[in-house]
A and B are shown apart, each in its own frame.
Chain A
Amino acid sequence: MRAVDLELAQRCRHGDAEAFEELYRAHAGRLYNLVFRMAGSQAEADDLLQDVFLHAHRKLGSFRGDSSLGTWLYRLAVNHCLDFLRGRQAKMTRATDSLDEEGASEPATTVPSVPTAVSRIDLERAIARLPDGCRAAFVLHDVEGYEHNEVGRLLGVSEGTSKSQVHKARMKLRAMLSGIA
């Protein structure tokens, strides 16, 4: 726990606008990358980031310093993204996969190889096209660097489900980057 976090949170709670801007400047970048890749588009990421910080502003009273302010905000952002994805999923008419189900992967045998030099743009586009459920696990594990047990905790699924979703995401990315999907 960091005393500086507690002090910053306290200043924000007392309506110190400069303190809240300090909080935003310190954490917006990391959270934006998360929400951008979880949501899959810039427009939705902008709205999500705003919502996350607005929610944080309202909830700072519940921050007790049990974890760092960054971790607290990150969890808040993940939960917000999951709510958003679930809401979007509920609205969608075409079926994707749920956030915790173990769906089928692309067949391994029918896919030509991924080019050895994958461009960042192609990879970003392919990540954005992943189904919401496996994209969330993939982003947290492969992009954000969390272990499967941590991903499971963040997403509210088992470690095994996190593994299978990441594997599924990789198989889909493989298919997309090979040009067959």
Chain B
Amino acid sequence: MSCQDYEALISDYVDGDVDEAQRASLESHLSTCASCRAVVTDFSVIRAATLTLEAHVPRPDVWRRLSAAIEAEPKPFFGLGGAYWWRALAPAAAMVVLVVALSWTAGRLSPVATERLARVATGTGSEPVSIVAEYQLAEQNLTNTIVGLERIAADDRSTLDMETADVLQANLTVLDGAIGESRDALQKEPENDVAQQSLFDALRQKIALLQDIIALINEMRKGNQEGAARIVSGLNQ
């Protein structure tokens, strides 16, 4: 074998990643080849020096810039892999998109939502049009997410034992009550920010609970008692 053939082995040798036959063959070659011996020595020196490299520390302004960038990020409404529904709404195009969105969604919303959207579209509300309309679209997106999750959860809920299913249903019923109350309050006072935020909070909580239910069903189906217990523990908190 030539030096070139052995060269490929030298890195493995320095890493202690050769078998006995390779080691014996290479060491026999090294005993007669100063050039390859020098490579082994240099690689060992480099390996040793690499272990002494000091840790670099990020500068404080990295966190400052990062926290400012996060602050500027739109807040997640979905919790499903970071779906930000309004990311597409660049500021300059927001109103154009909004007009299209209003006319497109008007026929799909509940009667209450349609009424509120119509009022927004005609500018009879006291809040800026874009804010109120964004609320409507956000609510509709949250509701759509809930409908999808409910469908998934309903398909496999028989996997859960009766007692667990009852407890989860009771929690869902409480959240549905909170959602209903918030919507009632908004129907009476459409610009009530507290009611609006309560509605969003309840919708988000319902999404989180449905996600946990689906995760729990998956763990039960896999027979992963540990995973299921962890999810139930999280639910209890």
Residues of A that sit less than 8 Å from B by CB: 3, 6-7, 10, 13-15, 17, 20-21, 24, 28-29, 32-33, 36, 42, 45-46, 49-50, 53-54, 57-62, 105, 108-109, 111, 113-116, 118, 120, 123-124, 142-143, 163-164, 166-167, 170-171, 173-174, 177-178
- Bound CA–CA A123/B45 (angstroms): 11
Expressed in whole angstroms, the Cα–Cα distance for A167 and B12 within the complex equals: 9
Q: What's the nearest-Cβ distance from chain B to residue A84, in Å?
A: 16
In the complex, what's the smallest C-beta–C-beta distance from B94 to chain A, in angstroms? 21
A sample of 5 more A-B contacts (CB under 8 A), given A28-B62, A29-B55, A167-B10, is: A61-B82, A108-B39, A120-B49, A167-B8, A174-B43
Interface string of B27-50 (1 = CB under 8 A from A): 000000001101101110111011
Chain A residues, Cβ within 8 Å of B159: none
Instruction: Tell me if B69 and A123 are in contact (CB < 8 A).
Output: no
Question: Which one, A61, A120, A166, contacts B11 given CB within 8 A?
Answer: A166
Distance in angstroms between the alpha carbons of A45 and B56 in the assembled complex: 10
Chain A residues with CB below 8 A from B234, complex form = 6-7, 10
A138 to chain B, nearest CB (A): 9
A167 and B78 contacting across the interface, CB-CB below 8 Å:
no
**B162 interface hit (Cβ, 8 Å):** no
B46 x A61 contact (CB < 8 A): no
Q: What 4 A-B pairs come out closest when comparing CB atoms?
A: A118-B49, A167-B11, A58-B82, A114-B42
Tell me the residues in window 142-200 of chain B with beta carbons closer than 8 Å to chain A beta carbons.
Answer: none
Q: Is there an interface contact between A3 and B11, defined as CB atoms closer than 8 Å?
A: no
- Tell me the B56-110 residues at the A interface (CB within 8 Å): 56-59, 61-63, 65-67, 69-70, 73, 75-76, 78-84
Q: How far does the alpha carbon of A45 sit from the alpha carbon of B67 in the complex, in Å?
A: 17
List 6 A–B pairs whose Cβ atoms lie within 8 Å, in order of A's numbering.
A42-B56, A61-B81, A62-B81, A116-B45, A120-B49, A178-B42
Evaluate contact between A3 and B82: CB separation under 8 angstroms. no
Interface pair A59/B81, CB less than 8 Å apart: yes
B119 at the interface (CB under 8 A from A): no
B24 interface residue, CB < 8 Å from A? no
Expressed in whole angstroms, the Cα–Cα distance for A54 and B62 within the complex equals 11
Of the listed residues B42, B79, B84, the one surrounded by the most CB atoms of chain A closer than 10 A to its CB is: B42
Check if B82 sits within 8 Å of A60, measured CB to CB. Answer: yes
Minimum C-beta distance from B216 to chain A (A)? 13
A17 contacts B67, CB within 8 Å?
A: yes
Cβ of B54 < 8 Å from any Cβ of A? yes
User: CA separation between A173 and B78, bound complex, in Å?
Assistant: 49
Whether B66 pairs with A24 at a CB distance below 8 angstroms is yes
A174-B76 in contact (CB<8A): no
Q: Cβ of B221 < 8 Å from any Cβ of A?
A: no
Cβ contacts under 8 Å, A20 to chain B: 70
CB of B11 within 8 A of CB of A62, answer no
Q: Kindly report which residue of chain A lies nearest to residue B7, judged by CB atoms.
A: A108
